[in-house]
Chain A
């Protein structure tokens, strides 16, 4: 029911929206909750386990009941708290966890079975038979119990993440937060003031307090106006600071577009902030506690503070005849505010026999509400008082069991709060989060004056620590009412009294946990599921542990709290992973020939972050194998061109460059002549092969190392480790030049002919023997030439500065085509190297030694190198190790499959008979059949033996001969020319 003359809503701007398909009207400034209450909609959801009808309990982000789904398809957003969601024109919200409809929910049958569904029910019931759990019990339980659901479609909303930095982060913009921000802002500090609400002011918007003789909301607006005028202050509304982390880092979620009908192109729905603050003030306020009594979950029963918030901020009375039930003076304010607004108050029930009298209302002192009635909404309550029991007709009950400081953030680094008996609440202990100080209600200071004072003090203290001079000035005047209360957690009596509304945990459940010896608060929580819902026990935690304390005969401080962990309120995974979807997943690295490659229709494959062509299809070719065979033919018979720029290139210079290489490679590089290239093998410290590649000596103390594409980063990091950590005294500099040079392999019998058309000085084989290198002039520009081969043919790699890469690739391919060759891709490159028995990371996969790949002889006996000692460990050199061999099917059409395992002919394909595995396979155009590389126990000693390859997954068995890994031109005559 809307109340005239009240509220901070804009009554000139009506807003239409729907809930479960029914159209309603609210005003700009309404939340979904306030608008529904204004339209006298009380039933908004069904409870998690028993599907009990539920209404709105609170007016803030702690709301456990009023969860709805907003949006459809890719934009479907479940579990939106109606108390947080602002309405906008055309908004469509739906209730959730009900079937077929909210008012008639068949799942409510669970409620009838409630006597069987108490604490530990699942643990006790679904033990047997074991196999039923996964197939039957869990799916059924999951269907009945639950929250809202995602649509199953890709999320089409945009999310973003961002970083912010400040001197002082103020969390919460109530009186304490505003005061802290004012003091810090006036002192010139860089301030971020973050508040989860759409409108700053905190409780000042919800109460009728005055500050300096002005209504609290007016004072808050003036303070905000002043803060807005400061360049050094940043106001972040709709921003929940959700976690406190090391070194002043705070996680925060900003709801950017949830309140907008038109989100605008590129606008994110949410932004996940990492805020790094030198100091922080927590001014998060407090949350009101419900009181547990029988059937206290009926729609229409809500916290007293929420009733005042709806009345004062949104001009809504949640009922026409309101009753108030509390154990403290603060609850009396509810009666005063309602009466002042002309709302009928049926009664004020105060559990204290000595409570201060309040005029103008029927007051029941020493009374307790012990039951409620009404179908799908509150119609009456039962009150037990010194005079007996009576029923009171009412459609809204405002209850208050006192307030819990919102100290959650202070516990995020494992600090434990302490119990304060006078306010019957936990409060933070100073220093729980370094650099953060709690102020105001979250620190247990509940009066407006105390909030203002603590806010100012906290800011001054923070600025002082930062060396910024601050002047607190004179504090505004405000009420300083003491907090007077007498603890009341649960009203004794029959029936189910709810503690955790969201997870359907009752007083009886907690007591049952204690009876079954789950007496630790952490055990009770897990046994009953109290506090494990999306509200994380904000509404139920303290009351539940008070009941547990009572049941176990301990005090509340001894019982302690469960651990508060981030996030303070739920955060969508989409926000945490913002920017990581689609192209944002990882960088894409493109070679200079990328565009030309795409234009030739080549399918690309990913090699690390790089994109490389798989093959270059031509008209008439129907599958990749045809293209691949053709490209292999280019290299074997004419000339092929491939972009090899993705291989890591590391420039190594200095007087100790040779020493570094001798130390990281197994073989010797100090003896390499200038202008020559050598193949090298690199081990990890544990003695296994890390990487291989060629290194060229460009000058006396200047080398150029080549790594594989996949391990370029790892090798660079390894060299950094060696030069910075192991031998910082060496005179050597390393620098990646991978990106500086575009490099192309030119291989085949006509490779030299092709190059000679581009080089200003033709290649003379006498000057350019196999494994030579040097500077060349390419069409008038500087370049480098390396005579190396990964194909077994006469091969060269030509490098030019990357700006010329695209242009050179174009020329090379065109000229190769004129010579009967052309571009080749990774498939052909792979065939060429397997035919030659050259290894890649398919073979050096991290678990093999130099011995295993037949390169034991490359570990120089004349010097030490990284990994040498560890490679000599007993297990790494013993007979029986799986070592590199070639594999050739007996039958010409026999299939080889990478990943398949090897067995003796006579053995069954079982684990205990395993003899090895296949790492690389291809169809060899030269041999006219498939060939492969693999590892076989004592492989090199078994050349000529027939073994059985079995691929259990694909159901293929092939008998193959064990052969040398070098299938093609074993003498290397073609390569050396």
Chain B
């Protein structure tokens, strides 16, 4: 009997460590784009809190509760990760499955900020961009999402199809940072 096998965007290529920095693939579990229906912002935020214990994140913020995370993803758009969306969200909100749409990696290590300074045109200095901060911005030439994690590392997301370019760009930047010592 044939069956379908799942494959992650960076399967077999990560983790990658260069000079004290590490990129590793992250499986966040279900990912769902949430948008409020017209005039239902507060109701959707309430439902998110009640069902998942998550605050609705404002612009540039990400909230977390256990494995679940709500990452601001643009105008009227939040990405719920790490939990299947509760049915109660579907009333006030529009839900779109994005579980397979994104390449998700994390970048850790002391040079992480220096690496991202080569790819991301956003001020990532703490405390301005501390824990819980997120940005939709360019990563190299790609439209991406950058979030500072509680551990100090960064969560990076680009389109699934661009996984190879993300790895290429990260590797080049990590090599350049490492070569400077």
Inside 8 A of A163's CB, which chain B residues have their CB?
117-118, 120-122
Contacts of B5 in A (CB 8 A): 804, 806-807
Task: Name the distance in Å between A851's Cβ and chain B's nearest Cβ.
Answer: 36
Given known pairs A724-B75, A740-B101, A779-B4, the reply for A266 and B161 (CB within 8 Å) is no
> Which residues of B are found within 8 Å of A610, using beta-carbon distances?
161
Contact of A679 with B by CB under 8 A: no
Contact A587 B162, beta carbon cutoff 8 Å: yes
- The residues in A between 179 and 205 inclusive whose CB is less than 8 angstroms from any CB of B are 190
B175 close to A (CB within 8 Å): yes
> B4, A781: Cβ atoms under 8 Å?
yes
The proximity string for A residues 718-757 relative to B, scoring 1 for CB distances below 8 Å and 0 otherwise, is: 0000001000011101011111110000000000000000
Query: Given known contacts A654-B37, A654-B94, is B75 in contact with A803 (CB within 8 Å)?
Result: no
Query: Using a CB-CB cutoff of 8 Å, which residues 237-275 of chain A contact chain B?
Result: 256, 263-268, 274
Q: Looking at the complex, which of B55-63, B148-156, B165-173 is the stretch in contact with chain A?
A: B165-173
B75-106 interface code vs A (CB 8 A; 1 in, 0 out): 11100000000000000001011111110000
Q: A807 touching B120 by the CB < 8 A rule? A: no
Q: Which of A307-315, A416-424, A589-597 contacts B (4 or more CB under 8 A)?
A: A589-597
Q: Which B residues are CB-close (under 8 A) to A731?
A: 37-38
Cα distance A276–B120 in the bound complex, in angstroms: 13
A584 to B172, CA, bound (A): 10
Establish whether residues A579 and B140, one from each chain, have CB atoms under 8 Å apart when the complex forms.
yes
Chain B 1-14 near chain A by CB (<8 Å), digits 1 or 0: 01111111000000
> How many interface residues does chain A have, given as a range?
35 or more
Minimum CB distance partner of B115 in chain A: A162
The CA of A587 and the CA of B143, in the complex, are separated in Å by: 10
Q: Is A162 in contact with B159, judged by CB distance below 8 angstroms?
A: no
Decide yes or no: A654 and B7 within 8 Å by CB, A735-B96, A740-B100 being known contacts. Answer: no
Q: Does A114 contact B (CB under 8 A)?
A: no
Asked if B101 and A589 sit within 8 Å, CB to CB, the answer is: no
Q: Let me know if A735 and B165 touch, CB within 8 A.
A: no
Of the candidates A263, A591, A733, the one whose C-beta lies within 8 Å of that of B161 is A591
A266 touches B142 (CB 8 A): no
Judge whether B38 and A587 touch: CB under 8 Å. no
Contacts of A775 in B (CB 8 A): none
Q: Which residue of A lies closest to B35 (CB)?
A: A733
Q: Please classify how large the interface on chain B is, using the bins under 10, 10 to 19, 20 to 34, 35 or more.
A: 35 or more
Q: Closest CB of chain A to B6's CB: distance in Å?
A: 4
The 8 Å CB contact of A589, one of B125, B140, B159, B169, is: B159
Q: Please, which residue of chain A has its CB at the minimum distance from the CB of B159?
A: A739
Contact call B159/A265, Cβ cutoff below 8 A: no
B35 contacts across to A, CB distance below 8 A? 733, 735
Q: Does B135 contact A (CB under 8 A)?
A: no
A590:B121 contact, CB within 8 angstroms: no
A811 interface contact, C-beta 8 A = yes
- How long is the Cα–Cα vector from A781 to B5 in the complex, in angstroms? 11
Q: How far is the CB of B135 from chain A (nearest CB, A)?
A: 13
Whether A778 sits at the interface, judged by CB under 8 Å, is: yes
Instruction: Report the Cα distance A541→B45, complex, angstroms.
Output: 64
Distance of A276 Cα from B125 Cα, bound (Å): 12
Count of CB-CB pairs between chains A and B under 8 Å: 140
Q: Is A780 an interface residue (CB 8 A)?
A: yes
Question: From residue A165, how far is it (CB to closest CB) to chain B in Å?
Answer: 4
Q: Please measure, in the bound complex, the distance between the C-alpha atom of A532 and the C-alpha atom of B59, giving whole angstroms.
A: 48
Given known pairs A587-B165, A654-B38, the reply for A158 and B141 (CB within 8 Å) is: no
Which residues on the A side are within 8 Å of B110 (C-beta)?
A: none
Chain A residue with minimal CB distance to B8? A803
Decide if A802 is an interface residue (CB 8 Å cutoff).
yes
Residues of A contacting B121 in the complex (Cβ-Cβ under 8 angstroms): 163, 274
Question: A264 near B179 (CB under 8 angstroms)?
Answer: yes
For the complex, give the distance between the alpha carbons of A884 and B181 in Å.
Answer: 63
Distance between A168 CB and nearest chain B CB, rounded to angstroms: 14
Q: Is the Cβ of A592 less than 8 Å from the Cβ of B7?
A: yes
Residues of A within 8 Å of B28, CB to CB, are: none
What chain B residues lie within 8 Å of A806 (beta carbons)? 5, 7
A-side contacts of B169, CB under 8 Å: 579, 584
- Chain B residues whose C-beta falls within 8 Å of the C-beta of A164 in the assembled complex: 117
A960 interface contact, C-beta 8 A: no
Which residues in window 583-624 of A have CB below 8 A to B?
583-584, 586-592, 610
* A758 to B168 Cα, complex, angstroms: 36
A846 CB–B CB distance under 8 Å: no
**B136 on the interface (CB 8 Å rule)?**
no
Instruction: Please judge, given known A-B contacts A739-B161, A802-B101, whether A733 and B37 are in contact too, CB under 8 Å.
Output: yes
Taken together as a complex, chains A and B put the C-alpha atoms of A592 and B176 apart, in Å, by 30
Q: Establish whether residues B38 and A730, one from each chain, have CB atoms under 8 Å apart when the complex forms.
A: yes
Which of chain B's residues have a CB closer than 8 A to the CB of A808?
4
Say whether A801 faces chain B, with CB atoms less than 8 Å apart. Answer: yes
Set of chain A residues within 8 Å of B76, measured between Cβ atoms:
733
Asked if B178 is at the interface of the complex by the 8 Å CB criterion, the answer is: yes
> Given the complex of chains A and B, what is the CA–CA distance between A165 and B116 in angstroms?
13
List residues of chain A with CB within 8 A of the CB of B98.
Answer: 735, 737, 740
Q: Are A266 and B75 in contact (CB under 8 A)?
A: no
Task: Tell me, rounded to whole Å, the shortest Cβ–Cβ distance linking A587 to chain B.
Answer: 4
Chain A positions within 8 Å of B102 at CB level: 739
- In the assembled complex, the CB of B45 is this many whole angstroms from the nearest CB of chain A, namely 16
Q: Does B107 contact A (CB under 8 A)?
A: no
| Contact with A801, one of B38, B94, B99, B159 (Cβ below 8 angstroms) | B99
Residues of B within 8 A of A772 (CB): none
**Minimum Cβ distance to chain A for residue B117 (Å):** 5
Q: List 5 A-B contacts (CB under 8 A).
A: A264-B179, A735-B94, A806-B7, A807-B4, A807-B7
| Shortest Cβ-Cβ A-B pairs, 8 listed | A266-B175, A267-B179, A731-B38, A802-B100, A589-B161, A739-B101, A165-B123, A733-B94
**Known A735-B35, A803-B8; further 11 A-B contacts with Cβ < 8 A:** A160-B118, A266-B178, A267-B179, A267-B180, A588-B164, A653-B94, A735-B33, A735-B96, A740-B101, A803-B6, A806-B7
